[in-house]
Chain A
Amino acid sequence: MTGASALLPALLALPLIGAILVMLLPKEEPGLARGVSLGVSIATLALSLVILGLYDTKIASMQMVFDKEWIPGLGARFKLGIDGISIFMVLLTTFLMPIILLSSYKAVTSKVREFCALLLILEVGMLGAFLALDLFLFYVFWEIMLIPMYLLIGIWGGQKRIYASIKFVIYTMAGSLLMLVAIFYLYAQYGSVTGEYTLELSLLNRLVLPRDVQMYCFAAFALAFAIKVPLFPLHTWLPDAHVQAPTAGSVVLAGVLLKFGIYGFLRFAMPLFPYGAAELAPYMAYLAAAGIVYGAFVAFAQSDVKKLVAYSSVSHLGFCMIGIFAMNTQGIEGSIYAMISHGLTTSGLFLAIGVVYERRHTREMSEYGGIWKQMPVFAGLFLICMLGSVGLPGLSGFVGEFLTIFGMFISGGTAGEPSFWAEFMPHPMLLGAVATSGVIFGAIYLLYMFQKMMFGPLDNPKNKELKDVSWREIAVFTPLVIGIFAMGLFPKPFLQTMDPTVDQFVTRFEAKLAEPDGPAHIMGQAAVAPTPEPAQVEPHAGHNHAPGEAAH
């Protein structure tokens, strides 16, 4: 696989080169910047499809791994790889990016060059964070994403954009703080157990920490990712950021950035600290269920349609959280499915809001009404995205939500074979029932929104001059609509691709969970039989193997 291993770095290099190229274009020709960046993003999409083509759906572990020494003193490697979870995240990112660029042709007219370049840099950051298999590398990409997002909200955002952009950055950074400390702890523990220092994920995954420490470390990671999800009650940054961001920013935020929360749990927090995850799972699940209901109720109370959709994300991502903490193949696959579906449908909703906002410059639902007659094509597209988000069977949202709830219901195992998870998740039925109610609430507020905006009498004179969507706008919605239908009607290929990886995830989680408690040790080498190198290394002996050594 030597040839294929160059594909992942190429996937990062392409938008990066594109961004540099766009910045070098003349300032006076915004059209050129748009064209080049759109071309680059489509090329990136094509490359990601090539990666999908070469991806072997029967292999569970990382594929096309690119591994190079990077900062030897730190034990950090430039290691990228793709598996059945990250491939969908990568595809979602590359799929949405051309749509975002195309959608902002009219909405963004000032500093177009900078806008396009920032979006491409953001794409590099997002793809890198999905592909990174080294904690330092992940952290670097995780932080790189902040800068373009900060500027996107801050420069092209709405009235309170500066407040919202700074709140966004501070929340994310403050959330990552404890994670950073936990990473250092893990790093030091691995070093003192094995004598070598590394930040490479596959090696760190083999380290089993004492159970109480796992709880702290998991909590530290969970805080960082729960803010991103956002898990109730850590969601307060989201409505501000969404409402103030330009349409493109909202789409990136809802479509991709929120997924880092769930992805972070799956990739880092749960495999690294399974016992911590298991002990805290009920609390995470309760919060997720609370978020599903709370998000739905608050969404229903909004008069600003963008805020409504923003709160709907809080509700929808709650399903994803329920799914991963069901800890079975159904739940986790459902969670990944729901993430992709949410990426498509919510992006569609934000784009639809963008379409009417560009025409009327208001987001108050009461200002609209009866738009259906004026913009029939738009109404159809909007309807599909909305119903996809509601979770109508046959559309994408249904499969994911169904699987997550189903996964939670059976998380205790079936009558014949009880699952290991039963002892950790006390009330799966209750949680499943609450989540199911969220599906109904979701239908209520989304249908209410649609009814208020699209049906009823066309009595606002300003709405009588609305023009239907242009060809460009249809081109923006078409891929989303196709995606929503495809995922709703043919879930099998998607699920088959995830199967091996998700199965392996659950098996490994269970195996690591079963490791005996005790001092930190490498999996399978528990301290029962005293090893020649004891876990408590003297501080001086530790220095002999300090990370700096590797530099020589």
Chain B
Amino acid sequence: MSHPELFCPEFALLLGALLSFACAAIGTKARTAWLVSLAAAIITVGTSALALPYQGHPFATDIYAVDSFSQVLKLGISLALAFAIAISQRQDSTRASARTEVHFFFYLSALGMMMLVSATELLTLYIALELSAYGLYILAALHRRERLGSEAAAKYILFGAAASAISLYGISLIYGAAQTTYIPAIAASGGSPLLIAGVVLTLAGVLYKLAAFPVHSWAPDTYQGAPHEASTFLATASKVAAVGLLLRVLSMAGGNTEHLRTMLIVVAILSMSVGNLSALFQKDFKRLLGFSAVAHAGYLLLGLLSFSKLGAAAAIFYVLTYVPIVVCAFLVVAAVSHNGANPSIASLAGLYKRSPFLGLVLLVAMFGLAGIPPTPGLAGKWFLFSAVIDAGHLWLVLVAAVNATISLYYYLLVVKAAYLDPPGEYPDIKLSPTYSITAFVSVALVVFMGFYPAPIWSMASSAAAVLF
């Protein structure tokens, strides 16, 4: 390792992993373990922010690239991790016996994701993919209601294993076609049909991570059945990593993007439509967020299928702003949840009377997802749409805009429950200081990015510049 300092966000994660493992091994109280891992998560965010300008190759060969692309996404992953751990303060949806150990898996998975966005070699990439998945497999199973947790985890693992196997097959085809496992070299090898077939198969595993059609059906079940903090992590960090991974995988096609683009257009349209139309009928709030995540995977694909710098930047911008918005939504889930049960939309009734601040947090989350100002949701969609237009698909913008309007309906139903329905028998909610601070930080981030998206955009476009 020639430049260890380039590796510092990963070191911070490793430190967190070791500390939380130590807590588990000693058998400290869940509360102590949580405090330790929260501290480590905040350190990770700081380190990732400091490491933003870093560039180079930490290893002798270029299997691992540290550049503004990887560093921006690492910052997103570490933020998602810190938010998820902050939300896990109230672990009442997690199985009691696992409350001390649980943080170790967050760190492990986040480490996998960070490696994923830096990996520029197929085997490294595959190992990172698996590392990020294993932690999540376990996290998904830890719901205190064992049946719910087992179902969530079973779906996630079975889908994951199948998608991963298909990906591996794709990787073997790519190797067969290009005779190398280095991504830049593959990209330069000129996109033979076999290579494109390999990329398409590899995409299976990647689209699974993004929760895009047709490998999306785990998302609603797993979001619903996993503990709240695990769902948060799954919904945010996993999405960020998936965008990074997708961009890398797609870059292997070289210039030969015609068929890939057609395929991605179909996937994007189906993801948006299936996600939004299914979300219309949900009663469980977490399940609704799961379907909404499928729809957002579709929006993200709009940026990726443009195969342009603008499109890549738009997707990165979108996913970075998506993190605090989704955190707001899951924070409400965790705060409203009683004894770890999943809140239904009906149970959000009168939320803004039961806790005015939490009502506002929910409002910001829903408007952010729907793309209404002053949240960055609108600017994000504009960037994506202008990338699509730039690529010459005006009609696709129309499809996406129709979808955005459909989605508005179910987001409004949630707002309606919180603001217009009377609270009835539901009790008032008192936020813990941690939750208040977390909510404040995430809302402030959302509103700031909404009013002034320029800094995030310049980060996203410098990240995209690495690939195009």
Say whether A associates with B: yes
Chain B, Cβ-Cβ closest to A199:
B382
Q: Is the CB of B373 within 8 A of A140?
A: yes
Q: What residues on B are CB-neighbors of A69 within 8 Å?
A: 454
Q: Contacts A70-B454, A143-B372: A547 and B386 contacting too (C-beta < 8 A)?
A: yes
Give the CA-CA distance A150 to B416 in the complex, in Å.
10
Chain A positions within 8 Å of B, measured between CB atoms, are 69-74, 136, 139-140, 143-144, 146-147, 150-151, 154-155, 161-162, 165-166, 169-170, 173-174, 177-178, 180-181, 184-185, 187-188, 191, 197, 539, 542-543, 546-548, 551-552
Chain A, Cβ-Cβ closest to B415:
A150
Q: Is the CB of B390 within 8 A of A151?
A: no
User: Which one, B55-63, B117-125, B282-290, B400-408, is touching chain A?
Assistant: B400-408
Give the CA-CA distance A438 to B391 in the complex, in Å.
50
Give the CA-CA distance A552 to B461 in the complex, in Å.
8
Q: Is the CB of A187 within 8 A of B457?
A: no
Q: Is the CB of A551 within 8 A of B461?
A: yes
> Given A72-B457, A552-B461, list of 4 further CB < 8 A pairs?
A162-B420, A174-B405, A191-B390, A548-B309
Q: Is the CB of B458 within 8 A of A543?
A: no
Q: Is the CB of A147 within 8 A of B372?
A: yes
Q: Is the CB of A181 within 8 A of B373?
A: no
Q: What residues on B are CB-neighbors of A136 within 8 Å?
A: 382
Q: Is the CB of B373 within 8 A of A143?
A: yes
In the complex, 24 of the A-B residue pairs with CB atoms within 8 angstroms, ordered by the A residue number, are: A73-B383, A73-B461, A136-B382, A146-B372, A150-B415, A151-B419, A154-B416, A154-B419, A154-B420, A165-B416, A166-B409, A169-B408, A170-B405, A170-B408, A170-B409, A173-B408, A174-B405, A181-B398, A539-B392, A546-B308, A547-B310, A547-B386, A551-B457, A552-B462
Q: Contacts A73-B458, A181-B397, A548-B461: A150 and B390 contacting too (C-beta < 8 A)?
A: no
Give the CA-CA distance A144 to B382 in the complex, in Å.
16
Give the CA-CA distance A271 to B88 in the complex, in Å.
55
Does B126 have its Cβ within 8 Å of any Cβ on chain A?
Answer: no
Residue in A72, A154, A547 whose beta carbon sits within 8 Å of that of B454 in the complex: A72
Give the CA-CA distance A162 to B310 in the complex, in Å.
40
Give the CA-CA distance A178 to B401 in the complex, in Å.
8
Most chain B CB within 10 A, of A177, A185, A547, is at A547
Interface residues of B in 413-468 (CB under 8 A from A): 415-416, 419-420, 452-454, 457-458, 461-462, 464-465
Chain B positions within 8 Å of A, measured between CB atoms, are 308-310, 313, 367, 372-374, 378-379, 382-383, 385-386, 389-392, 394, 397-398, 401-402, 404-405, 408-409, 412, 415-416, 419-420, 452-454, 457-458, 461-462, 464-465
Chain A, Cβ-Cβ closest to B464:
A548
Chain A, Cβ-Cβ closest to B408:
A173
Q: Contacts A150-B412, A184-B397: A144 and B457 contacting too (C-beta < 8 A)?
A: no
Most chain A CB within 10 A, of B367, B390, B457, is at B390
Q: Contacts A146-B372, A154-B419, A548-B461: A74 and B401 contacting too (C-beta < 8 A)?
A: no
Chain A, Cβ-Cβ closest to B399:
A181
Q: What residues on A are CB-neighbors of B378 within 8 Å?
A: 139-140, 143
Give the CA-CA distance A184 to B384 in the complex, in Å.
11
Q: What residues on A are CB-neighbors of B405 within 8 Å?
A: 170, 173-174, 177
Give the CA-CA distance A147 to B264 in the complex, in Å.
34
Q: Is the CB of A543 within 8 A of B309?
A: yes
Chain A, Cβ-Cβ closest to B401:
A177
- B313, chain A: closest CB distance, angstroms: 5
- B377, chain A: closest CB distance, angstroms: 10
Give the CA-CA distance A327 to B384 in the complex, in Å.
37
Q: Is the CB of B313 within 8 A of A169?
A: no
Give the CA-CA distance A161 to B416 in the complex, in Å.
11
Residue in B379, B392, B401, B412 whose beta carbon sits within 8 Å of that of A71 in the complex: B379
